[in-house]
Amino acid sequence: MSLPPAQTPLYNHSLTAIETWLRNRGCTQNENQRNCWQIQYPDWEADLEMDVEEINVRYYSSESSQTIQRSFSYALCREDLDAVIFSGP
């Protein structure tokens, strides 16, 4: 599937486009909770929850036991979300 331009707010993406974007970024969808995704990198991993009004991201660092939670509005463009979500905690 072709994605809208990266400067397009996420709320203007179809659900299929959002799922494609997350898969392209290496995320894995939870089989039981279809609105939840996970991503793993060598130094950190994160759980993403597609909520009604925002994306909630819970980061887990391999260097510390601390959990960091952030929320991002669907009004942000995909380009900005790429930068803030996938840069890690």
pLDDT tens for 16-28 read 999 999 999 999 9
Q: Is residue 16, in this structure, part of any structural domain at all?
A: yes
Tokens found for residue 64 = 């510390």
Q: Where in the sequence is the domain holding 29, given as residue range(s)?
A: 10-85
d(CA 76, CA 71): 11
CB 78 within 8 A of CB 21: yes
Q: Look at residue 68 in the predicted model and tell me its pLDDT.
A: 94
Confidence of residue 89 (pLDDT cuts 50, 70, 90): confident
Q: Is residue 5, in this structure, part of any structural domain at all?
A: no
Q: How many structural domains are present in the chain?
A: 1
How many C-beta atoms surround the C-beta of residue 5 within 10 A? 9
pTM of the model: 0.90
Q: Look at residue 6 in the predicted model and tell me its pLDDT.
A: 95
pLDDT digits (tens, 9 = 90+) for 28-47: 999 999 999 999 999 899 99
